[in-house]
Homo-oligomer: A and B are copies of this chain.
Amino acid sequence: MIQEAILHLPYGAYAYALSSHEARVMLRAKRGDLKKVHLVHADRYRLEDDLEMLEVGYSGSDDLYDYFQTTIHSKTRRVAYRFLLDDGVRRLWYGEKGFAEHGDAAGYFQLAYLATGDLFEIPDWVDEAIVYQIFPDRFCNGNEKNDPDGVRPWGEKPKWDTFFGGDLEGIIEKLPYLQELGVNLIYMTPIFKSPSTHKYDTSDYLTIDPMFGDLATLKRLVSEAHKRGMRVMLDAVFNHCGSQFPYFQDVVEKGEKSRYKDWFHLHSFPVDTEKVNYETFATKVASMPKLRTENPEVREYLLHVAEYWIQEVGIDGWRLDVSNEIDHAFWREFRRVVRKANSQALIIGEVWHDSTPWLLGDQWDGVMNYLFRDAVVEFFAKRTLDAERFDNRLTNTRMRYKEQANRAMFNLLGSHDTHRFLTLCEERVERMRLAVMFQMTYVGIPEVYYGDEVGMLGENDPDCRRCMIWEEAKQNRELFDLHRKLIALRKKHKALQTGTYRTVRADALYNVYGYVRENAEESVYVVLNNGLITAEVTLPAGVTGVDLLTGETYAGTFSLPSMEGVVLLLNGGTV
């Protein structure tokens, strides 16, 4: 037994409450090292009574580790527990005091009390959500009267500073399109007043940019969306404002005498937007001064903004820009304010890296899942990962987070900050088809970046922000139909939303990836042949599968051609 490779922590994603009487516990060990893991637990004040035993089931592997998980049910909400590890040769107890041949010498890990005040609660509707990300200037121009000067013709190649006239009325106009596609959550990049086309440099957090509409238009959008069973999220750019933000202008004008000087991180006076003697987003981006969120005034102001748009317009959540550069203390208050205003509001951060410290239950629900995207891009689009390593990467990402966070992830193939996925596929639609089949059947909220569903192309920003293609003749309608079908399947089959995820096949040789999503009612077996040759897939005797995409029934052994996939609803057992 490789003791040094065994890890359990009595906190974080390794031990946490699922409810007031249930705790999820996880342990990791060197891949292949342990054959069986058990756990004993009791009330922490009554270690001699009511001791219960559980098997800690294998739940996946990454490059280096196997992960084991179980759920403890505690009547008293105070849990002491330790593991019995079995590598097939030797059994060792493992507890807070380390490894030992006798249980008591290992001690007990402690979940002192499953306090509901710390419960990680995500909105009830998260599991059903499919999100559609819109860059408003580029989606649809529903009202030419509000176009800014110098609008360029729809479909022209965008530059950094091009305006195309897209607006909120355009989005309202296209709600039937979104409804046909099946998405039910709209996330718009920023819509507040700002001089830029992307609007990540806010001038006024309480006003809709006139080129997009006004308060009434947004209210109409939200109410029309709600009527259609869709929700709407806005983008909170709280790390920095725009340099036109009046309080920053005040500081530029009045220097040290400005009453807003503590709203920013100023290095010296006078404030100089040429030399950029203040902290900004990234490095010396003069137009984006960083806000000092530790200042109670700033905090109060931004929290008011967060609350205002929920109370005034009824939005269903916030996506948080550059949110890992703001203090955790701010986000904890943010969660309290937002959830008080709307207990069902979703909170999604932007982090491109490990997001653990923000996803413990006290700050955000999920993040733009770029670790997911990295793996999907490498496996399906660039084909630099094989199926085994792909599975390892997915597992590694999933095991970083609590179950609640995994369910609330925005699983994106691309965004306004990346290459378009089909471009990364070298425009080979069959690669994207498999990726979408995967995305729509994986754990977490599928996120469609506007236009991806009709095969739009684009290099990195600004090229990935081209105008939406509305001419059906120029759309890839097959890809659209695939999205539509898969979204419908995900909405219909609870197993695809919340079913256990279990890898069945992660085949480096054939590059075939197969996994099951299952609950007590149904098992869905997805098999994706991302390899270059036809592979054989075998269902156990007595088990049949109906491909939910084609209606075709499979049994026994069948061939799955290169770059094809099936989504099989199993009958008569599981794989």
Contacts and interface: CB of A to CB of B under 8 A. Distances in A.
Interface of A: 2-5, 7, 9-12, 30-31, 43, 45-46, 63-65, 76-78, 96, 98, 108-110, 112-113, 115-118, 279, 282-283, 293-294, 324-330, 332, 351, 353-354, 356-357, 362
Contacts of A76: 283
Contacts of A65: 4
A356 B11 contact: yes
A115 B45 contact: no
A466 to B, nearest CB: 26
Contact of A283 (B43, B96, B108, B117): B43
B115 A351 contact: no
A9 B356 CA distance: 9
Contacts of A326: 113, 115
Contacts of A356: 9, 11
11 contacts: A2-B4, A4-B64, A4-B65, A7-B7, A46-B283, A63-B98, A109-B353, A109-B354, A112-B351, A118-B327, A329-B362
Contacts of A4: 2, 4-5, 30-31, 64-65
A357 B5 contact: no
A354 B282 contact: no
A325 B116 CA distance: 11
Given A5-B2, A64-B3, A332-B332, A327 B117 contact: yes
Count of this chain's copies in the oligomeric assembly: 2
A109 B329 CA distance: 22
Given A5-B4, A110-B353, A353-B96, A294 B327 contact: no
B110 A362 contact: no
Contacts of A43: 283
B117 A324 contact: no
A117 B295 CA distance: 9
Q: Is the interface of A mostly helix, strand, loop or mixed?
A: loop
B113 A325 contact: yes
A324 B113 contact: yes
A10 B117 CA distance: 26
Contacts of A12: 357
Most buried by B among A3, A12, A353, A362: A353
Contacts of A5: 2, 4-5
A139 B360 CA distance: 44
A4 B3 CA distance: 10
Contact of A115 (B46, B110, B327): B327
Given A353-B96, A354-B110, A357-B11, A328 B283 contact: no
B283 A45 contact: yes
A45 B282 contact: yes
A307 to B, nearest CB: 17
Contacts of A354: 10-11, 96, 109-110
Given A30-B4, A96-B353, A118 B283 contact: no
Nearest to A116: B294
A96 to B, nearest CB: 6
A77 B294 CA distance: 15
Contacts of A328: 115, 117-118, 362
Contacts of A45: 282-283
Contacts of A2: 2, 4-5
A113 B11 CA distance: 24
Please provide the 4 A-B residue pairs with the shortest distance between their CB atoms, ordered closest to farther.
A117-B327, A4-B5, A115-B327, A112-B324
A115 B115 CA distance: 28
A19 to B, nearest CB: 14
A329 B4 CA distance: 33
A253 to B, nearest CB: 26
A171 to B, nearest CB: 32
Contacts of A46: 283
Given A4-B65, A96-B354, A117-B294, 10 more contacts: A4-B5, A4-B64, A7-B7, A10-B354, A113-B324, A115-B325, A117-B330, A118-B327, A118-B328, A332-B332
A23 to B, nearest CB: 14
Contacts of A113: 324-326
Nearest to A332: B332
Nearest to A4: B5
A330 B362 CA distance: 12
Contacts of A78: 325
The residue among A4, A45, A76, A78 with the most chain B CB atoms within 10 A of its own CB is: A4
